Amino acid sequence: MRINVFPVGSRVYVTSYGPFRGLRGTVQEANTIASELEEPFCFYLIDLEGGYIQEPIWFEYDEVELIASPLVALQANDELTSRELTAGRTRS
């Protein structure tokens, strides 16, 4: 099984069972551990929103799900800005 590593800045949702389940956050760092005997592991340092712990926390790759990558967020912002500029031109 191949693991797709989320890029830094990706928005994620915590799916693991525990006190952080359901929280959202941003990937601050991604580390992988390769092994010849097993599939590689990936760990993410997540800056959580709304958590009672203020420092970022490490999660395994299967404990978080991708909400949006940084590229998707930038594209959505660019599209919104383009629409606003176009709407402004038609009003003038």
Residue ranges of the domains in the chain?
A: 11-91
Q: Is the pLDDT of residue 79 over 80?
A: no
d(CA 78, CA 6) in angstroms, rounded, equals 21
Q: Which fold has domain 11-91?
A: SH3 type barrels. (2.30.30)
The pLDDT score that the predictor gives to residue 2 is 58
Percentage of the chain beyond pLDDT 70 is 66
The pLDDT score that the predictor gives to residue 81 is 47
CB 64 within 8 A of CB 30: no
The pTM assigned to this predicted structure is: 0.69
- Using CA of residue 12, residue 18, residue 20, residue 23, what is the dihedral sign? positive
